[in-house]
Each structure stands twice: as structure tokens, then as C-alpha cells.
Amino acid sequence: MKPSITIKECIGEELIPYINDLAKLRIEIFHDFPYLYEGSLDYEKKYLQTYASCEQAYCALVFDGDQVIGATTGIPLLFETDEVKRPFVENGFPLESVFYFGESILKKEYRGMGLGIRFFKLREAYASTLTQITSTSFCGVIRPDTHPMKPEGYQPLNVFWQRMGYEKQEGMLTEFSWKDIGETQESKKPMQFWMKSIK
């Protein structure tokens, strides 16, 4: 890894000075397949306030010099939206026992350096310090293999997630709404949950 790359961990309101940078990075990274997200800076800032206002929320920011080039976030599931919590309630998981991973995002030119693995280890290490947390979880968008905007040679992250110890939770799905590239209005996207026991 380049010597200019550093990682800064933030808890709760420590994220506030970096919300602008993180919002722009989310829009850039999620614009690509499979999310194809037409983002808005105002929405992103509002979304990130959830993390900044939660005392137990976690963020690790990756810098190259003074530029934010990657980030990963997590928050106790209790503080997430109803769309995120609903599948856990329906499947009998105590909400207070789960730490939810928001995103791992990294500029393309910095991928393949091991930062993706580091993101999981950092979040799991932090989650394990929270007394009631026994599992970590996240969800990923489901896109059909025949999607017209799927790039040539695209490899989903399923194998990587399995290598990190996560299991696909069959039947645990929710829906998030956002505007795809080329859409005039938001549409619902199916999201698949993955989980891992950390205690």
C-alpha cells in the first residue's frame, strides 16, 4: 500500500467534518453497476447525518494525502430505518444484537490493495466492543444477470463476502428506492441480506 494512504476511524459526531467528502464519494461510487444510482448531494448529507448523530455509529475513512478516497460505515441496527429492520423482526432476530454495515466504497484506482478486507475487519472489531452485539449484517442490491447495463466481465462480490465469513440469508429481503441512471423517478430495488456471527 502507498505510504501516503492513511485510515482514520470516526465514532458518531466525529464524522461531521467529513460528511461533504463522503457524500460526494458515495454518489461517485454508487453511480456504477450494480447500483446505477443518480445521487443527490442534499439526500446524501441527510442520510449521513444518521451516522453523525448516533453515538455508536462507526466510520473508517481512507485518505491519500488529504483526499478522501474510500470509506466504510456501520451502525447498531436499532438506529436504522424500518426498511432495514423489518426483515430482522420478521425472522425473529433481536434488533439490539445486530450491527448493520452501511457501505464500503473505494475509488477504482485504489482497489486490489486489501482495503476491502480491512474494511470488514475494522467494522467487526468495533462491533465486537459493543456489549449486546452478536452479529454483523449488510445487504446488497439484486440485479438480473441480463441487466442491459451490466459491464462485460462484471464479477459480483458474493464470493468475497463468503470468504469474509458471511452467509446469504435466504428469504431475508427488503426494498430500497432510488433513481437509476436514465430513470425519471425512483423505483424500488430488491436488497438481499447477509449475516455473520461475531460472538
Average pLDDT over residues 88-105: 97
Asked whether residue 1 carries a pLDDT value surpassing 80, the answer given is no
Q: Which long-range contacts (CB under 8 A, 24 or more apart) does 151-155 make?
A: 151/33, 154/33, 154/34
Q: What pLDDT digit, counting tens, does each position of 35-71 carry?
A: 999 988 999 999 999 999 999 999 999 999 999 999 9
pTM of the model: 0.95
pLDDT at 118 over 90: yes
Whole-number Å distance between alpha carbons of 60 and 94: 26
Residue 112's region, left for phi above 0, alpha for psi from -120 to 50, else beta, is left
Please report the domains of the chain, with CATH numbers, ordered by start residue.
5-197 (3.40.630.30)
Helix, strand or coil for residue 44?
Answer: helix
In whole angstroms, give the CA distance from residue 99 to residue 135: 6
pLDDT value for 2: 78
